[in-house]
Amino acid sequence: MGFPDYRPRRLRKHENFRRMIRETRLSVDNLIMPLFVVPGTKITNPVKSMPGIAQLSVDRAVDECRAIRDLGIPAVILFGIPDKKDGAGSGAYSDTGIIQQALRAIKAAVSDLVLITDVCLCEYTDHGHCGPLAKGPDGRTDVDNDRTVALLARAACVYAEAGADAAAPSDMMDGRVGAIRAALDAARRTDVLVVSYAAKYASAFYGPFREAAGSTPSFGDRRGYQMDPANADEALREVAADLAEGADIVMVKPALPFLDIVRRVKDRFGVPVAAYNVSGEYAMLKAAAQNGWLDGDRAMMEVLTSIRRAGADILLTYFAKDAARILGGGRA
């Protein structure tokens, strides 16, 4: 159907008109802030490649969560950096692990903030891969899928006991969502959500995160278990499998290079979809802004709106605090 006298500039003339007809709404309610937690007290270790982001001790993480809550941001996702690592990533599922300590402290101090825990072993293994290693039939060393899945399920239950409201498996092992859901249900924690990194790509945009989390593999890479960036149909199969296994929310990671995947997942399944605006996306925008090449705030809001427009209901982003200050919605 044609509109021969359509004059769109009239609708763009005034900011109030632009607000009234805006199709995509970005709200502070869409945001989740990632946090990196380390052992010790009174520690704030800035992450060089991620300006404005730091590793925090538990006490500083509690303070940060109060500030996040006061900005109106509804949730955080926690990543732990232990003081000791081993081949099986035991710090992830120890009762005294760093994330378990953080969960208890934050839940006691900021009870109205949703606490999500990343469920993976890469930060906890001494080799940097996402689970314990074994030699395959071809003689190559690789992650032991089934042993890893069992340990991830154990970790999710320990996190739930410590106060997690949701478990977010990011390892990309086969069957891990079903194992985590079954373990949580068996532990009578049917209230804990599973937020699955369903379509997680083997991306070049994770570099700054690996500095922050100390999770760079000591050999090889993760292309044997994370997705090929060239594949789209495979993402839909991954999402379908995770939903069948009990995922409550599915995630696409990274966000910007895979906005088409976000759109396809939302259109195909119609479930809550999260997208992770990852460390490399954050770092390159920050670097451009610091060099005066971009208006940092405008570029940030344009990027976050594009992810929302693509179909994401939830945005995990290191920009969450900066965006919340612009969007408003915090405590008076």
Q: Which of 84, 135, 253, 266 is catalytic?
A: 253
Distance CA 99, CA 112 (A): 18
Q: Which of 85, 200, 266, 321 is catalytic?
A: 200
**Amino acid identity for residue 322 in this structure:** D
Query: Phi and psi of 253, rounded to 5°?
Result: -145, 130
Q: Which residue, 214, 37, 212, 209, is CA-closest to 122?
A: 214
Residue indicated by tokens 């993976």: 120
Q: Is residue 321 within 8 Å of residue 71, measured between CB atoms? A: yes
Longest dimension (CA), the chain: 70
Cα angle, residue 201 at apex, residues 48 and 254 outer, rounded to 5° = 50
Strand-strand pairing, 54-57 and 44-46: antiparallel
Active site residue 253: yes
Q: Omega of the bond prior to 169 within 30 degrees of 0, cis? A: no
Distance CA 296, CA 314 (A): 22
Q: Half-sphere exposure of residue 41, counting CA atoms within 13 Å on the CB side?
A: 1
Active site residue 107: no
Catalytic residues: 200, 253
